[in-house]
Structure 1
Amino acid sequence: MTHGPRTLLINPTITSRRSARFPLSLLHLSAALERTGSSQIVDGNVDRNFIDDSLRAMEATPFDAVGISVMGGPQLAPAIAVSTAIRQRFPAVPIVWGGYFPTLNTDAALGAPYVDYVVRGQGEESLPELIAAIGRKDDAKLATIGGLSWKHDGAIVHNPNRRFTLGDTELVLPYHKLGDPRRYLARTYLGRRTVAHQAATGCRFRCTFCGVAAMFGGTTVLPAAERLERDLSYLKHELGADSVQYFDNNFFDREKDMVPLLEVMARFELPWWCFARSDALLNLSEHAWKLVRKSRLRMAYIGAESPNGQMLKEIRKGTRPDQTMEVVELCRRHGVIPELSFMVAPPENTEEETEHTFEFIRTLKRINPQSEVVIYIYTPLPEISRHEQDRAKRPGKPLFDLNGEPVVFPTTPEEWAQPRWVNYTCHADAPWLDDKLRQRIQDFVTVLRCRYPTVQDLRSPSWAKRGLSAMAGWRYRYGRYNRPWELELANRLVRLRTPQVEGL
């Protein structure tokens, strides 16, 4: 009796157990693989012994291949560790990397001795085709698989990109493969049992700094309303979810496409959080906003990025600073908290642009004090990581460090896993940032988050947050951010939630 190919899917550790959410990419891959074979999932976010457990699973079952999902930043070192351990113990089993890191750094990933194949971008069609070709040892078939990069006679081969699709609309995610799916429901600002879900795939915008744009190449695919209704019904009635965190890269796109989905969500009335754009929210009709209110949108994460209109044009953001100011007022009227992300310390006019952003944030806080603010360092993608169409149309500017030397990006996974490049990937530091400005940014963030503690913080007691806010009041009012030692001391005791690190 044939069982079809067996695949082990691994999600290396990237967050705490408390912050673990469904490994949605692996669930989608597992559902696709089940059509012609079988799969098993090991999730390092809930299983701290995931490397040993992966090896034990491979000892118990003869897997045809191992697929590992790899984000850049903190997930890279665990991905290297599990790949190395598997290669040493099971040298003949092919290892496939997929996800953002190998898509954006394909040559670096395939240069590693423990990576045999890279699936770039979406894998629901490419991975099953690859597993089948591996089983038949069919190199001719390998050359036809879209979105695949592989090694042939010592050389790296990049097959053409694959078009993105939502695939089978009847696809049901195999949540049971995670053990008890309810352990992924978390207490958040939205509710006591918040669930993670992704309805749409991709983003049709092409921001030059964004890994989503590089991975999806300006494509958005939305689901059928029937599929969203089936998914929400399972999450609410079977798992007991009382709120939803949507991981869609850009939830609000075109209203005509969104209204059928909003109508479904309005029937379920599950409080929700999502990514959004200021222009999309401003363009919504009153009818759409009525559905948004009925569906109980609580918070929208909006990429404001910069108060500099010219910079927004250069990074192809597609929005304007005045739209950011309008949207915080619009959200206030509709009872939605705007969570605004900003990128400070760009490579040019670094200090001036940073101070300009600080003042813009203060202006937005005056318009809507409930606005949440998340501050990152502006770290553009390496030129080689940008989508090939965008590189051809609009080459990026060269980047230089503090000494005026060109920034040289890593060429191996091990180099990318070094702390300085993990910080770069996570928008926490940049080679052109000096100690003085780095401290200035840190001090501003300390004063701001003490003056306006995030509503997402359910851990700190209300009295402590009120006390910190009062302590920070004079510093914020007069712009005295330098060395807020008393706030740092108090925060060691209170430990306010940091949205940059501890999002929903």
Structure 2
Amino acid sequence: MMTEARKEVILVYPEMGFSGALVRHLPLSSLYAAVDAIKAGYEVKLLDARLCPRSWRRALAAMITDKTLLVGVTVLTGAPIRSALAISRWVKTHYPNVAVVWGGPHATFNGPETLSEPSVDYVVSGFGARPLERLCRKLSGDQGAPEFEDIPGLVYRLGAQVRAVPPEPEFEVRDFRDIPYHLVEPDLPKYGQLGTPERIFPMYSVMGCPYRCAFCSSPAQYRDIAKKNLFIPPEQVAAHIEHVQTRFGATYIYFIDDDSFVRLDHVERIIDEIERRGLKVRLGFRGARVNEIMKMSDSYLDKLAAAGTNILHIGAESGSQRILDLVHKDCTVDDIIECNVKLARHPGITAAYNWVVGLPGETVGDLDRTRSLILRLLEDNPKAIMFIPNKYRPLPGTELYSDAVAHGYTPPVRLEDWAEVEAESHFAAPWYTREQTAMIHMMQLTSYFVDRKLWKVETGNSPMFRLLRLAAAVYGPVARYRFRSGWSGFPLEYMLFRAAGALLRH
């Protein structure tokens, strides 16, 4: 039987980086992680530090009781580590008998190294619901609990040694009716993006990804899973949408799949089922590849738009064919241009392009080709949006990681240093030349303004967004001149940009 004295679990979602000031979606990873523990009889509480960046200590202290078994923290590589460390150290200082557990992407790829931090007791690598439930049973003294070495994905200390149990080689799918949305229900109005009134619910329509992008962690995470995709039946996806719309007032569904369009017919069947049920929601897709859009007909895109789709996030990544081949994007620069022209014929769907810069072996010429492609895409499709070019981050387990090491990269030794390995941070890889660094910084800053995105997307009218629109009006012409000309000299405004980012985070 479960020990009655210790059956409370607190899950904490840490603060994010700069983008976290503009986009704040539900902490779905924490909700999924809670499912099995709740079904096993544990009381789970959730603290989202993004909602209380200045008062999380007070909020966490109010949650912890003498029945609290553990505090679990979801950790992404980059800025969230700084927040996760502060939370973990505070818990261990004030409540030394409460176990601290890290999970999430950073823990998955850096489990043993993470336990060099004294405030972290356990790490869960891979999907978290089943390992967390089993760990809770073990720590609470449940008579039938598995031993540590029998908990998949668990990284733990045994004396002076660190032991790592391999994760289960399968996707972790849970019934949507078991997702504990009630944990975030009181705070639903605080979630969303860009200050809009949309009630956004992220969800999955497919698990996994069959592609092998060399910079991406997904191929490494799914390496031991035989079948790289698990498609959620369209009827279940539509039922999930109906559930969050009816129960929680969802107005927008954001599919956070690694890639939603591996099978075009799967998405089409979901749309058909949404229509059959008479659901009126808007849709956004985080994962779309150029090689997939090449297969979409105009009638298919019309159907997406009619169903409420207003944005496709597309991994263009680079304007250099050499770089596209290096990272296995399975497309050409001409394919990107052709897809963009096709999407321009469907103005109801915004084409939003992702980019990665600073890869090992990338040259200033490659960067300039990316800059030129961005300008071409905007010329052909003025409604398109260009996301900030993300700096390549060498992540253990990814294909390009060995190339990064060969080019002089040394991974951080301390967890604090991982906090600087951020796509939008001042992180500079050892292979950057001074010219590359200046070019990357120029492209990152001016990409916020080159496409006039603040006038293309719906935003709120808070003081922050009024200030951003003012900045866009004043600095926009300078930014567009810099980007079009490729001039990266005297980037004084880059330091102001970094300072503004720090203010937005706080």
Say if 2:290 is the partner of 1:317. no
Over the matched positions of the two proteins, sequence identity in percent amounts to 20
Deviations 1:171-190 (A, max 9, x none): 3322222251432443649x
- Relative distance call for 1:209 and 1:477 in structure 2 (3 A) is closer
- Relative distance call for 1:434 and 1:178 in structure 2 (3 A) is same
Secondary structure at 1:64's aligned position in 2?
Answer: strand
Say if 2:164 is the partner of 1:158. yes
Q: 2:365 aligns with which of 349, 352, 370?
A: 352
Q: 2:217 aligns with which of 211, 220, 223?
A: 211
Instruction: Give the equivalent residue in structure 2 for 1:175.
Output: 181
Alpha-carbon RMSD across the aligned residues, in angstroms, is 3.4
CA distance in 1, matches of 2:303, 2:452: 29
Task: Please give the residue correspondences for 1:225-244 in structure 2 after superposition, counting only pairs within 5 Å.
Answer: 225-244=234-253
Query: Residue 451 of structure 2 aligns to which amino acid in structure 1?
Result: Y
Are the equivalent residues in 1 in contact too, given 2:22–2:193 (CA < 8 A)? no
Task: Please give the residue correspondences for 1:276-425 in structure 2 after superposition, counting only pairs within 5 Å.
Answer: 276-285=288-297, 288-335=300-347, 336-382=349-395, 385-386=396-397, 396-399=402-405, 406-417=408-419, 421-423=420-422
Query: Residue 14 of structure 2 aligns to which amino acid in structure 1?
Result: P
- Cα distance, 1:426 vs structure 2: 5.7
Query: Residue 218 of structure 2 aligns to which amino acid in structure 1?
Result: V
- Relative distance call for 1:450 and 1:54 in structure 2 (3 A) is closer
Instruction: Give the equivalent residue in structure 2 for 1:68.
Output: 73
Query: Residue 158 of structure 1 aligns to which amino acid in structure 2?
Result: A
Instruction: Give the equivalent residue in structure 2 for 1:147.
Output: 153
- Relative distance call for 1:182 and 1:173 in structure 2 (3 A) is same
Q: 1:87 aligns with which of 85, 92, 98?
A: 92
- Cα distance, 1:478 vs structure 2: 5.3
Instruction: Give the equivalent residue in structure 2 for 1:430.
Output: 429
Unaligned segments of structure 1, at least 5 residues: none
Deviations 1:438-494 (A, max 9, x none): 233333455554342102363359898577656666666655564587xx59x99xx
Moved more, 474-483 or 126-135: 474-483
Query: Residue 257 of structure 2 aligns to which amino acid in structure 1?
Result: D
Are the equivalent residues in 1 in contact too, given 2:78–2:418 (CA < 8 A)? yes
Comparing both chains, which one has the higher relative contact order based on Cα–Cα distances under 8 Å and sequence gaps of 6 or more? 2
Are the equivalent residues in 1 in contact too, given 2:176–2:240 (CA < 8 A)? no
- Relative distance call for 1:428 and 1:144 in structure 2 (3 A) is same
CA distance in 2, matches of 1:29, 1:293: 33
- Relative distance call for 1:55 and 1:470 in structure 2 (3 A) is closer
Secondary structure at 1:40's aligned position in 2?
Answer: strand
CA distance in 1, matches of 2:191, 2:404: 44
Instruction: Give the equivalent residue in structure 2 for 1:268.
Output: 279
Instruction: Give the equivalent residue in structure 1 for 2:462.
Output: none
Instruction: Give the equivalent residue in structure 2 for 1:121.
Output: 126
Query: Residue 26 of structure 2 aligns to which amino acid in structure 1?
Result: F
Deviations 1:53-79 (A, max 9, x none): 223322x24122221111111111111
Unaligned segments of structure 2, at least 5 residues: 460-464
- Relative distance call for 1:448 and 1:89 in structure 2 (3 A) is closer
Say if 2:295 is the partner of 1:253. no
CA distance in 2, matches of 1:175, 1:133: 26
Instruction: Give the equivalent residue in structure 2 for 1:12.
Output: 14
Moved more, 128-137 or 72-81: 128-137
Secondary structure at 2:162's aligned position in 1?
Answer: strand
Are the equivalent residues in 2 in contact too, given 1:66–1:96 (CA < 8 A)? yes
CA distance in 2, matches of 1:287, 1:315: 31
CA distance in 2, matches of 1:193, 1:395: 39
- Relative distance call for 1:349 and 1:312 in structure 2 (3 A) is closer
- Relative distance call for 1:83 and 1:288 in structure 2 (3 A) is same
Query: Residue 14 of structure 1 aligns to which amino acid in structure 2?
Result: M
- Cα distance, 1:349 vs structure 2: 4.2
Secondary structure at 2:11's aligned position in 1?
Answer: strand
Are the equivalent residues in 2 in contact too, given 1:185–1:241 (CA < 8 A)? no
CA distance in 2, matches of 1:475, 1:307: 18
Deviations 1:37-63 (A, max 9, x none): 2211111111232233223322x2412
Q: 1:25 aligns with which of 23, 29, 42?
A: 29
- Cα distance, 1:429 vs structure 2: 3.6
Query: Residue 94 of structure 2 aligns to which amino acid in structure 1?
Result: R
Query: Residue 453 of structure 1 aligns to which amino acid in structure 2?
Result: R
- Relative distance call for 1:315 and 1:230 in structure 2 (3 A) is same
Are the equivalent residues in 2 in contact too, given 1:306–1:357 (CA < 8 A)? yes
- Cα distance, 1:434 vs structure 2: 3.7
Query: Residue 50 of structure 2 aligns to which amino acid in structure 1?
Result: N
Are the equivalent residues in 1 in contact too, given 2:124–2:131 (CA < 8 A)? yes
CA distance in 1, matches of 2:418, 2:475: 37
- Relative distance call for 1:413 and 1:11 in structure 2 (3 A) is same
TM-score by length of 1: 0.83
Are the equivalent residues in 2 in contact too, given 1:211–1:381 (CA < 8 A)? no
Query: Residue 28 of structure 2 aligns to which amino acid in structure 1?
Result: L
- Relative distance call for 1:146 and 1:317 in structure 2 (3 A) is farther
- Cα distance, 1:230 vs structure 2: 2.8
CA distance in 1, matches of 2:437, 2:370: 14
CA distance in 2, matches of 1:342, 1:411: 28
Secondary structure at 2:192's aligned position in 1?
Answer: coil
CA distance in 1, matches of 2:45, 2:157: 26
Secondary structure at 2:39's aligned position in 1?
Answer: coil
Query: Residue 8 of structure 1 aligns to which amino acid in structure 2?
Result: I
CA distance in 2, matches of 1:426, 1:270: 35
CA distance in 2, matches of 1:362, 1:29: 42
